[in-house]
């Protein structure tokens, strides 16, 4: 009965991409650990780039420098 929480920046992931993440993680848990897919939960959180920091700066600021 695994529970998976995927956190990504909110930068336009499509519904199709999110379906692929849900399917792919669920398959992985079935393949590696033999878990039951019916009781495998996946939650995707999309986080604003102002609210995610790496190296002491928000991703909003990091993107400006790239």
Q: What is the dihedral of CA 18, 22, 28, 29, to 10 degrees?
A: 150
Of the CA atoms within 13 Å of residue 44, those in its CB half-sphere come to 19
Q: Is 2 a catalytic residue?
A: yes
We find the least distance from the C-beta atom of residue 63 to a copy of itself, in angstroms, to be 11
Residue ranges that bind a copy of itself, judged by CB under 8 A: 1-9, 13, 15, 17-29, 31-33, 35, 37-47, 50-61
Cβ neighbour number for residue 24 with a 10 Å cutoff? 10
We find the least distance from the C-beta atom of residue 42 to a copy of itself, in angstroms, to be 4
The set of catalytic residues is 2
């Amino acid at each position: 009965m695994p529970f998976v929480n995927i956190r990504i920046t909110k930068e336009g992931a499509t519904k199709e991409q999110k379906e692929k993440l849900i399917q792919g993680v669920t398959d992985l848990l079935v393949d590696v650990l033999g878990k039951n897919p019916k009781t495998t939960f996946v939650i995707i959180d999309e986080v604003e780039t102002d609210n995610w920091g790496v190296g002491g700066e928000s991703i909003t600021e990091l993107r400006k420098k790239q």
